[in-house]
Amino acid sequence: MSKASATASSAPKKIHFWFEFASTYSYLSAARVAKVGKAANVEIVWEPFLLGPIFKQQGWADSPFNLYEQKGRYMWRDMERLCDGYGLPFRRPDKFPMNSLLATRVAMLGRGEEWLPDFARALYHANFADGQDIADSATLERILAALALPSDDLIARADSDENKRQLREQTERAAQLKIFGAPTFSIEEELFWGNDRLGDAVVWARSGGSL
């Protein structure tokens, strides 16, 4: 067997990281996934998407953390202690979930670009540490400017018909993968749901399909 075909049949070393900007647990994963991927020599593909349309398909008009009191209560306490454990700043936002549409449209322009992880981390920090309104274009402008990115240009392009279509297609890809929450890590068709399953996703990617 040639070296090329041996390589072709080896384990996929790529994890798709599906994140939603309004999602608390996605904040945790966004903060650590790059470091974890690097340590494990697994490529991380950042995949922004909208959870709203997927929740609607399940009959939820709001976050399950708002719909189910105990689940919500648990999540906020869990975020507090996990952020403490990870050494991440955390402040419960006044409004939850935030409208993440514009932020996600901007993120779509960064797919495959080097700036996307930095932008995403800054956005999550604004939402879950600084108490800023991520639906406000002024917040996005500040974040983009701080990253030395052309904020006016990006925000204009974020709202273009072409980019809106791209985001609809991206969210449709998430639905086709049967994603139902965020964060989700996907390796080909295999899903790992939740920040607490990143380690399993890494093991799966490295082993070529076992835990």
The footprint of a second copy (CB under 8 A) covers 58, 68, 70-71, 73-74, 77, 81-82, 84-85, 178-180, 190-191, 193-194, 196-197, 200, 204, 210-211
Residue appearing with tokens 């906020």: 76
The CA distances from residue 42 to 27, 106, 150, in Å, are 20, 25, 30
Q: How far is CA 201 from CA 32, 78, 181, in A?
A: 14, 21, 16
Kindly give the residue spans of alpha helices, DSSP state H, lying in 136-197: 137-146, 151-158, 161-176
Nearer to a second copy, 35 or 81 (CB): 81
Residue 87 vs 112, nearer CB to a second copy = 87
Select 23 or 139, whichever has its Cβ closest to a second copy.
23
Q: How far is the CB of 173 from a second copy (least distance, A)?
A: 14
Q: Least distance to a second copy from the beta carbon of 69, Å?
A: 8
Closest approach, Cβ 96 to a second copy, in A, equals 18
CA-to-CA dists, residue 160 to 116, 140, 154, 166, 182, angstroms: 19, 16, 10, 10, 26
The residue among 77 and 95 lying less far from a second copy, judged by its C-beta, is: 77
49: amino acid identity, one letter? F
- Whether the CB-CB separation of 29 and 199 falls below 8 Å is answered with no
Closest distance to a second copy from the beta carbon of 180 (Å): 4
3-state secondary structure 24-88: HHHHHHHHHHHHHHHHHCCEEEEEECCCHHHHHHCCCCCCHHHHCHHHHHHHHHHHHHHHHHHCC
Minimum separation from the CB atom of position 35 to a second copy (A): 17
> One-letter amino acid identity for 169?
E
Nearer to a second copy, 122 or 205 (CB): 205
Taking the least distance from each CB to a second copy, the nearer of 7 and 210 is 210
Q: Whole-number minimum distance, CB 109 to a second copy, in Å?
A: 28
